[in-house]
Structure formats: structure tokens, C-alpha cells
């Protein structure tokens, strides 16, 4: 290790132990605030609780950020299970919704679930030593200095799956190039979404032979229509009829409600009455979305109701797949605001047209893939969204069915290239 590496290692140690000092001296005084704000500080200072015996087994740590990424985590976990069926997995998330989703959906191979602890060197050491972690997998953009430093010191290999580096992040990392180059060289394998992302990671010293361009793992799906009995039963729970035209707007952010309402009103004027289900990205934005969507919006806390409705907002975590499953069309949120969108594959897997606004910069490859296949559609605003829906599902319905059939055959025939590459 040369002098520069020693200095960088020392800097990360200062970071990791500074957080440990803060955790021990300041966090105890934040208990009340943490409970009120929902920060879950007590849980973030403990190692994840085991849910099955992991002794004498190989344990791999897999981490993702929020709810959307935890769904990807479970998809990736399925691939890991196929490659190493004898391994067990510790899975963590950064957000409460992500942890709750993992707790609900965890497969039998998961031996522990919990929050990613505060990124201090002692806490990371405690987790790795307690579970005898043999490998770490991080999803997309989850870069944690203390975690990587400890893995380096204990010679634990680290992989980054579905890796992406947006231009904004790339420019920010460049300002601290030496530090990130020191951290990124810990990755012994990296699965990049596209060549541009791969090039950006290579800039920070990851060896080219360790980088594999495998596309967006979220897009590695089987497209099929849902089971009819499940489809009918879920619709009945929501007081929906078999012939109701249903649009599900998923991962919707505050600021998008007015455009969505404008779309529904125009569809009604054009003679295409619909039932609109809104699943918010953040539950604390429900009231604002109700205000934006206006008169007649029904607020539900579950997917069971007997009251009539035309527009509903469901304030419940973990229901997005079910709501896409019963829809005739989907809108992906975060695209009428500058967020840049969320996974379009959660809706596309059910063989329905997927609509989104003009800003999908974080989902660029996926959205462009659907657009080129004729099954995804960009709209500039609420009015354009309504006109697009009418065109796709009424005027050009046969064209869409043909495009969807061709796309389904192409996607379902493709085989994952990931499994053979996993060490």
C-alpha cells in the first residue's frame, strides 16, 4: 500500500469512526425525534435479526436502498439461488418500506432481514463477523464507505449488480475521484445496465475484465397475463366489475396529481370512462395528491372496499404489483415531475400498455426499449396522456395487440446472461 492509499484509508477510517462517535453520543438524545419522525434509529443501530438458523452455512449479504430496489433485490436473489442453491442470505434495505417488503416477501433462503445499520466501521464489522459473511452484493448505486472498507480489510469480495451511474452522480464523484477510485476497486465484479454506465465505472479504476454489460435486470421478466380467477377476485375486493376499464398509476409523486386528473376528465369527455387507481410513491404525500386530484377522489387504506368510486388513492405499502395486475393500462409516476421515473417493468410484465411522462431519465434504456417495441408510450402532459390512451386502446388497438405479442415472444425467449457470470 503506497502513501496515497494509506491517506485514503485513514480518511475513510475517520469517516467510519466519526459516525460511530455520533451514534454513541448524539443518537441517544434523538430517541423522541426518531420515533416522531419515523427514522427508526434504534433498529439502525442493531444487526439484523435472524429468521432461521444460519450456523455452518455460507451467508451472503445483499443490500438495496428503497422499496423499488428491494423488489429488484428479490429478483436478483432468485438468480443467486439458482447459481448457489446451498447459500443463505442476509438482506437489508435503507428505508422502512423496503425492510417491510423484504420481511413480507422473503424466500426460504433468507436467514436474516433488517435495516442497513448506520455506516460505521464497528457496526459493519459486527454484522460481518456475526453472520460470517462470505460475499457482499450491492444493488444499483448503494456505495457505503465503511462497508467497503471493512470488506477490503477482511478480504470479502464485493459485487455491484444492476449498476448505474447517472451523469449527475458521475460529475459529483469526479470531484472526489481518488476516494471513489479507492472504494470502487473493491468491486471484484460489476453488472452494468449499459455501456455508458460501464465506461463511467471504469473511469474510477474498476478493471474492464470485472465489468459485464448485462442490461437492466428489472427487464429480465416473463410477460404474461394474470390468472383470470385472481384478476377477478382482486377486482371484486376493490368493488370493480369485470368490464370496468382500469388504469393504475403507480409510484405517483406529489405534483403529478393534476395532470393525472386532467387525463381522466378528458377520457370521460371523449366517452372512455375509467376507474383510476393511484398508488403513491410516498405515503406522506397522500393528502397532497388527494388535493391535486380534486373532487370525488376516494382515500382507501386497503384494497378491500364496498363503496363506489371512480378515482381512488390507496395508502398501503406493497400492493403495486396487485394493482398493476388488474389494470388495463398503467402510468408510471415520477415522470411528470423531475424525479426521472421508476421501474416500468413492474407494469409491463402483465402485458398491458405502459404510459409515462416526458422525464424518464433514470429509466431511459427501459422506456426507450418499450417505446421502440410499440408497448410503451411517452406523453408530454395530462391531455396528451388521455389522447395516447385513446389511440393505443381504441383507434390502434389491433396494432398494440400485435406489438405486444411480438414483444412478449422476444422477451420470454431471451435467457438471462447473469447466472453463468456469478462467482
Predicted local distance difference test score (pLDDT) of residue 133: 97
Predicted local distance difference test score (pLDDT) of residue 179: 84
- Would you say how long the chain is, in residues? 423
H or E element that contains 63: strand 59-64
Q: Is 95 helix (H, G, I), strand (E, B) or coil?
A: coil
* 159 within 8 A of 138, measured Cβ to Cβ: yes
Residue 260 corresponds to which cell in the numbers above?
393525472
Residue 271 burial (C-beta neighbours within 10 Å; 0-12, 13-18, 19+): exposed
* 294 within 8 A of 260, measured Cβ to Cβ: no
Instruction: Name the CA dihedral angle for 361, 365, 355, 379, rounded to a multiple of 10 degrees.
Output: 50
How would DSSP label each residue in 147-190? HHHHHHHTT--EEEEEE---HHHHHHHHTTHHHHHHHHTTEEEE
* Cβ count near 233 (within 10 Å): 11
Instruction: For residues 45 and 40, give the distance between their C-alpha atoms in angstroms, rounded to a whole number.
Output: 9
pLDDT in tens, the chain (423 residues): 678 778 878 888 888 899 899 989 998 888 888 877 788 888 999 999 999 999 999 999 999 998 888 988 998 998 899 899 999 999 999 999 899 999 998 999 999 999 999 999 999 999 999 999 999 999 998 889 999 999 999 999 999 999 998 888 889 888 888 888 888 877 899 999 999 999 999 998 888 999 999 888 876 777 888 999 999 999 999 999 999 999 999 999 999 999 999 999 999 999 999 999 999 999 999 999 999 999 999 999 999 999 999 999 999 988 999 999 999 999 999 999 999 999 899 999 999 999 999 999 989 989 999 999 999 999 999 999 999 999 999 999 999 999 999 998 887 665 556 778 888
Predicted local distance difference test score (pLDDT) of residue 415: 54
Instruction: For residues 310 and 240, give the distance between their C-alpha atoms in angstroms, rounded to a whole number.
Output: 10
Query: Cell match 478480504: residue?
Result: 155
Pick the CATH number of 228-412 from 3.40.50.2300, 3.40.50.80, 3.40.50.2000, 3.50.50.60: 3.40.50.2000
Predicted local distance difference test score (pLDDT) of residue 142: 85
Predicted local distance difference test score (pLDDT) of residue 1: 61
**Domain 3-156 -> CATH class:** alpha beta
* Domain ranges in the chain with CATH number 3.40.50.2000: 228-412
Strand intervals (E) in 261-314 = 275-280, 297-300, 311-314
Query: Cell match 388495463: residue?
Result: 328
Predicted local distance difference test score (pLDDT) of residue 310: 96
Q: Is 376 helix (H, G, I), strand (E, B) or coil?
A: strand
Amino acid at each position: 500500500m503506497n502513501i496515497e492509499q494509506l491517506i485514503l484509508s485513514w480518511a475513510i477510517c475517520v469517516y467510519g469512526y466519526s459516525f460511530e462517535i455520533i451514534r454513541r453520543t448524539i443518537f441517544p438524545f434523538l430517541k423522541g425525534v426518531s420515533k416522531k419522525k419515523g427514522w427508526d434509529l434504534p433498529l439502525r443501530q442493531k444487526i439484523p435479526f435472524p429468521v432461521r438458523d444460519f450456523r455452518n452455512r455460507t451467508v451472503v449479504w445483499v443490500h438495496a436502498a428503497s422499496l423499488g430496489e428491494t423488489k429488484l433485490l428479490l429478483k436478483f436473489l432468485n438468480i443467486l439461488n439458482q447459481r448457489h442453491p446451498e447459500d443463505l442470505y442476509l438482506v437489508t434495505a435503507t428505508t422502512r418500506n423496503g425492510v417491510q417488503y423484504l420481511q413480507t416477501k422473503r424466500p426460504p433462503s433468507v436467514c436474516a432481514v433488517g435495516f442497513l445499520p448506520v455506516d460505521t466501521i464497528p457496526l459493519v464489522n459486527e454484522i460481518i463477523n456475526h453472520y460470517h459473511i462470505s460475499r457482499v452484493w450491492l444493488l444499483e448505486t448503494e456505495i457505503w464507505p465503511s462497508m467497503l472498507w471493512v470488506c477490503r480489510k477482511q478480504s470479502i469480495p464485493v459485487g455491484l449488480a444492476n449498476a448505474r451511474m447517472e451523469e449527475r452522480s458521475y460529475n459529483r464523484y469526479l470531484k472526489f475521484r481518488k476516494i471513489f477510485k479507492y472504494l470502487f476497486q473493491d468491486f471484484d465484479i460489476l453488472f452494468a445496465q449499459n455501456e455508458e454506465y460501464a465506461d463511467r465505472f471504469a473511469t474510477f479504476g474498476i478493471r474492464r475484465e470485472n465489468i459485464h454489460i448485462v442490461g437492466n435486470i428489472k427487464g429480465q421478466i416473463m410477460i404474461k397475463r394474470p390468472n383470470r380467477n385472481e384478476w377477478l377476485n382482486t377486482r371484486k375486493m376493490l368493488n370493480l366489475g369485470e368490464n370496468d376499464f382500469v388504469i393504475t398509476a403507480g409510484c405517483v409523486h406529489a405534483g403529478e396529481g393534476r395532470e393525472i386528473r386532467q387525463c381522466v376528465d378528458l377520457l370521460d369527455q371523449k366517452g372512455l370512462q375509467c376507474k383510476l387507481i393511484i398508488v403513491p410513491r410516498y405515503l406522506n404525500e397522500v393528502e397532497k395528491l388527494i388535493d391535486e386530484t380534486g373532487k370525488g377522489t376516494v382515500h382507501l387504506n386497503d384494497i378491500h372496499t364496498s363503496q363506489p368510486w371512480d378515482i381512488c388513492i390507496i395508502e398501503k405499502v406493497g400492493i403495486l404489483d396487485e394493482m398493476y395486475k388488474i389494470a388495463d393500462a398503467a402510468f408510471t409516476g415520477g415522470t411528470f415531475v423531475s424525479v426521472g421515473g421508476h421501474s416500468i417493468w413492474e407494469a409491463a410484465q402483465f402485458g398491458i400498455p405502459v404510459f409515462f411522462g416526458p422525464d424518464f431519465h433514470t429509466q431511459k434504456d427501459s422506456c426507450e426499449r418499450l417505446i421502440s417495441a410499440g408497448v410503451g408510450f411517452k406523453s408530454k402532459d395530462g391531455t396528451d396522456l388521455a389522447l395516447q390512451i385513446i389511440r393505443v386502446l381504441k383507434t390502434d388497438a389491433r396494432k398494440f395487440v400485435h406489438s405486444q405479442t411480438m414483444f412478449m415472444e422476444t422477451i420470454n425467449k431471451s435467457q438471462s446472461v447473469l447466472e453463468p457470470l456469478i462467482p
